[in-house]
Amino acid sequence: MSFVLSEDQQMLRDTAEAFARDEFAVSRLRGLRDAGANGVDAEAREKLAELGFFGVLIPEAHGGVDMGMVSMGQIMEMQGRTIAATPVLQTAVLGASLINMAGSEVQKSDWLPKIASGEITVALALDEGTHHAPLNVATEAEKNGQGYTLNGAKRFVTDGQHADLFIVVARTFGEAGQSHGLSLFLVPRETDGLSVQILNTVDSHGAAHLSLDDVSVGEAHVLGAADTAWETLERALDMGRIALAAEMLGTAQAAFEMTLDYLQTRKQFGQLIGSFQALQHRAAKMFTDLEMTRSCIAGALSAVDENRNDIAELASLAKARACETLHLVSNETVQMHGGIGMTDDHDSGLYLKRARVQEALLGGATYHRDRYAKLNGF
């Protein structure tokens, strides 16, 4: 496990930081919201593609830059700082790694270059209930003459409002709750029988419910071997969880810094409110949480690049701690800003709203605590 960035990784971090600050300020998300864009930002997507961010986990042979998870973590952390609406998590982390790990040579050459260039966005359609439960897949894929017929529904698919390609997790065998019998299907947006209900979400990033009614796809659309997608899916989910945790670290860090600034400017009773010990201690505790969470995320990111055998454990540690830290920091951000933190004009609320979505995606603290305990035989 390495906690020190290489020169290349540091350069990428600096680029991502400058980009988030200069072109992706929080005001951009506010603007998208007020314009009713529902998280769709074509211009930003173009710029992300120019910077090569979509290709970080894609091999050079397929148009990527193959820089690994530590690098991806830097990008995620920086976009988290400004709670930017980007397709990076779904497209460049989950989508790219699933296709790269499970795809045939043809599927890889068909899709990976398009992802790397920013030409398409991808969304993993997995959860069917209101809480993350990757084994609870009831969507059925039944074998027909030329391929499969899919029936079922997917809830709260982030980026589902604009994704060009869905990776649908469906059951070719067994019952909800079992790991054997899961399969992955590449389903383009325009496929007959797929309907997309666009959602207006609290964080203004948008999402969609999917309904699959007799969606027919050919054999060529099965990603990896049928029935046995679980292992690959779980690895991709862990990469997604770690990347999302890195994004949440950026969100929490930025909200904390904004709060710290306020503590050092706002006066009451003739004093800077930051001089009150009741607030100082809470700030110091948040800082402690942030530092410890940062270590977990750095360790988990590097574990993926080193292909260690404790990735699952570290992913749950990173996501659970990111959830807890961001939950605390986002609440304290509103509280410490007082009345102004309750107003729509102030950014506190945007951070709070985004925080709860990030917490829920790919499993909250409760989910990952339980998983961590199980992985430790407890």
Residues near another protein, by CB under 8 A: 1-4, 260, 263-264, 270-272, 274-277, 279-281, 283-285, 287-288, 291-296, 298-299, 317, 320-321, 366, 369-370, 372-374, 376-378
Tokens for 94? 């989950």
Q: Which of 97, 90, 133 is nearest to 112 (CA)?
A: 97
Contact, 88 vs 78, CB < 8 A? no
Nearer to another protein, 130 or 277 (CB): 277
Q: Which residue has the tokens 């029935």?
A: 227
**Residue closer to another protein, measured from CB, 61 or 292:** 292
Spell out the residues 6+ positions from residue 89 whose beta carbon is closer than 8 angstroms to its own.
76, 158, 240, 243, 244, 247
Rounded to an integer, what distance in angstroms lies between the CA atom of residue 26 and that of residue 49? 20
Dihedral Cα 138, 141, 142, 148, nearest 10 deg: 170
Between helices 348-360 and 26-34, what is the axis angle to 10°?
90
Using CA atoms, how far apart are residues 255 and 80, in angstroms rounded to an integer? 10
Q: Where are the beta strands (DSSP E) in 178-324?
A: 182-188, 194-199, 207-218, 222-223, 267-268, 271-272
- Residue type, position 238, single letter: D
Nearest approach in angstroms of CB 365 to another protein is 9
Distance in Å, CB of 295 to another protein, minimum: 4
Helix, strand, coil distribution of the chain in percent, nearest 5: 55, 15, 30
Q: How far apart are CA 232 and CA 128, in angstroms?
A: 19
Q: Which two tokens stand for residue 45?
A: 């997507």
234 and 311 Cβ atoms separated by less than 8 Å:
no
